Amino acid sequence: MTRAEHATDTRDEHYNLTSVLYHTLQEADTIGRYIEDAQRADDDEVAEFFREVQESDRQRAERAKQLLRTRLHGRS
């Protein structure tokens, strides 16, 4: 058992998936502001790039949720 596992009684894989989920959702929110900035600058190409990044974040977050859900299912 690692130090973090011992201190929190949380398995590393659960912590890691939760961390990726949190940071990915946080980035998706930040990217939303970047999209607005690009739109205000009338830069459609950059805005579209940020929309693509945000969609990738959404997909990554959904995958992290699925993985976490299956690992927590039936465990207390």
| 7: pLDDT strictly greater than 70 | no
Chain mean position to CA 68? 12
Higher pLDDT, 75 or 71: 71
Considering the chain, what is the average pLDDT of its residues?
88
Coarse DSSP helix, strand, coil percentages of the chain, rounded to the nearest 5 percent = 85, 0, 15
**What is the predicted pLDDT for the residue at 76?**
44
Nearest one of 55, 15, 49 to 35, comparing CA atoms: 49
In this prediction, residues 34-39 reach a mean pLDDT of 98
Sign of CA dihedral 4, 13, 17, 66: negative
Q: What is the DSSP letter of 73?
A: T
Q: pTM for this one?
A: 0.75
